[in-house]
Amino acid sequence: MQDAVSLLQAVADPVRWTVLQQLAGNPSCVCNLQEHLPIAANLLSYHLKVLRDAGLVTTRRRGRWIDYALAEDAMDRLRAALPGIASAPPVQS
């Protein structure tokens, strides 16, 4: 249960939620993420670290840039963290 709470705490911040929304579409470098988030670079780095530590975001070095992507299992882990959702059938779009 504590893992679920920690995971939900990681995404409860509006900045981190926005980062996840941006990464759900495509991997991105910090410079692209900053275009959508009007916060200082060091604050964005902090939020990305929280998401990385929660295992929701992965990184890949590309030269001097670091690309961030949504972890493959991020959606499944978030779904499983919600009470009653883990046993419910998947939602069809």
Q: pLDDT for 3-16, tens place per residue?
A: 888 889 899 999 99
Between 2-11 and 14-25, two packed helices, what is the crossing angle to 10 degrees?
80
Q: What is the mean pLDDT of residues 22-32?
A: 90
Nearest 5°: the CA angle 31, 72, 19 is 30
What percentage of residues in the chain have a pLDDT greater than 70? 89
Domains and CATH numbers, the chain: 2-80 (1.10.10.10)
Q: Which contacts (CB < 8 Å, 24+ apart) does range 48-54 have? A: 48/19, 50/10, 50/13, 50/16, 51/10, 51/11, 51/16, 51/19, 51/20, 53/10, 54/6, 54/7, 54/10, 54/11
pLDDT at res. 87: 56
Question: Which pLDDT band holds residue 57 (cuts at 50, 70, 90)?
Answer: very high
Q: pLDDT for 77-90, tens place per residue?
A: 888 888 876 555 66
